[in-house]
Structure 1
Amino acid sequence: MGPSIINRVVDMGALTRLLSGYETDGFSFGKAARKRRIQLFCDLITKTFQEKGFVRILDIGGTVQYWRIVDEAFLEANKVQITLLNLPGSQAFEAQGRFSFMTGDATKDIWSELNADDFDLIHSNSVIEHVGDWAQMKRYAANIKDFPGGYFVQTPNFWFPVEPHCMTPIFHWLPKATRVWLVRHFSLGHWPKASSTDEAVETVESARLLNHAMFVALFDDASIRKEKITFLTKSFMAIRG
């Protein structure tokens, strides 16, 4: 069955939006899950506001769009200011309202460039699986653990049967060569069909999912929570605060 036939049978774009879309004017399972998940971080916000009277968040790899899942009245009541830290070369934007934008690589020594005292909390949602190999993940986690305040880090579970980026069942359990072939020949979830084998390999290597033991090893100073769908663990959250 070729890509065109698949697309006629199933509107893959509509399916991806339903499963994981951020659209504010429509329902998606992913958006609903993120709203439930963010409540754990909102507890840290409330606690910090009660202690300080304001909350300054460093969101590593974050976007303004993501924060639309949080009630604006809650952010306003807790005097929340959010700094979005993304890689150099990322699309920047003018500071607006509670948001500001900075560039930096969180797998390097970010505290030589940023002042940790300028922030109260760190937030990181579905980022660590994209930073590179295990050595880069350890540096990323070490930077977060070196921060003196509270933090919230989330990542998808390797053993959940649907790969969260290409929205394809058991994709991430397949041999790498098979995954590269699929990405080279099909548009899958958030991943468009690759135009070359080189691009397909880069796409496949752009996400390295973690299991529970690996996540615990990275964030051994935090409480690890599991996000469940029925009896399956969809993602892990490391919370320190």
Structure 2
Amino acid sequence: MPLHSLRFHLVDSPTSYGAKRRALRAAWLSDTFPDLAQMTVLDLGGRVSSWTQVPVRPARVHVVNLEPLPTELPDWAEADHADACELPASIASRRYDLVFSNSVLEHVGGHEQRRRMAEAVSTLAPRYWVQTPYRYFPIEPHWVAPGMQFLPVAARVAVARKWPLAYTPGKSWELAMKQVLTTELVGKAEMRYLFPDAEIRSERLLGMTKSLIAVRTV
């Protein structure tokens, strides 16, 4: 089996190990917030389609993303094209029951942008759940490459272009550079600083912290 195909079976397919981990995380979310089905949720950086696959779906989901938006939405969802770090007044003035974000914090563009996103998360709802991959897990999760996050930028770009478990090996230098510079994994100290009133949970794999989740339940 080619290594690039192996990524699909390990991470991306509906029956992959990665999919099973995502399902466990969704169950953890609903266990943490027993009234999730009655909540209005702001999802920063997510997709409406992700909420169709969870065991418990909120009553209302508002997705904010910089990606192209779906042309059709279910009656329980709304979507806006906006930056989670610089929300327009039409969103920033609203209040939700829960702010949710999954694997977005590491992509917003440096510590200052992460601080702005954390501020928005903390003010838009009394409860939140913010997950991000852990910087010191030995496998960089976006490229499934051992220790890639600790390499110099030029080396990371080379890995992003050539590593066979990347999403699209063989990509241009410009695209690889952009992806590398907009992927900055976060450690526990920064998560505690960004979310001082949260419980910082560790999602573990083989006894090691794989991702961090900042959770505020009240």
Return the TM-score normalized by structure 1: 0.81
CA contact (8 A) 1:45 1:55 kept: no
Deviations 1:176-216 (A, max 9, x none): 21111222344542243222x32221121121001111111
Aligned sequence identity (%)? 31
Q: Counterpart of 1:56?
A: 40
Stretches of structure 2 lacking an aligned partner (at least 5 in a row): none
SS of the residue aligned with 2:63?
Answer: strand
Deviations 1:44-98 (A, max 9, x none): 542355xxxx211111111133224412xx33xxx622111112x6233222132
Equivalent-residue separation in structure 2 for 1:116 and 1:233 (angstroms): 34
CA contact (8 A) 1:151 1:240 kept: yes
CA contact (8 A) 2:162 2:169 kept: no
Alignment partner of 2:71 out of 90, 93, 107: 93
Q: Which protein has the larger Cα radius of gyration, Structure 1 or Structure 2?
A: 1
Matched, 1:170 2:132: no
SS of the residue aligned with 2:34?
Answer: helix
CA contact (8 A) 2:142 2:166 kept: yes
Q: Report the CA distance between 1:239 and its aligned residue.
A: 0.6
Q: Counterpart of 1:207?
A: 183
Stretches of structure 1 lacking an aligned partner (at least 5 in a row): 1-9
1:70/1:98 CA distance change after superposition, 3 Å: same
Equivalent-residue separation in structure 2 for 1:48 and 1:70 (angstroms): 11
Equivalent-residue separation in structure 2 for 1:44 and 1:121 (angstroms): 12
CA contact (8 A) 2:6 2:165 kept: no
Q: Counterpart of 2:60?
A: 81
Partner amino acid for 2:5? A
RMSD of aligned residue pairs (Cα, Å): 2.0
Following TM superposition, the consecutive aligned residue runs of length 4 or more in structure 1 with deviations greater than 3 angstroms are: 184-188
Q: Report the CA distance between 1:22 and its aligned residue.
A: 5.1
1:65/1:227 CA distance change after superposition, 3 Å: same
CA contact (8 A) 1:48 1:55 kept: yes
Q: Counterpart of 1:11?
A: 2
Return the TM-score normalized by structure 2: 0.89
Q: Counterpart of 1:6?
A: none
Deviations 1:114-135 (A, max 9, x none): 1433x21111000010000111
Alignment partner of 1:222 out of 198, 207, 210: 198
CA contact (8 A) 1:162 1:171 kept: yes
1:89-168 aligned at under 5 Å gives the runs: 90-108=68-86, 110=87, 112-114=89-91, 115-117=93-95, 119-168=96-145
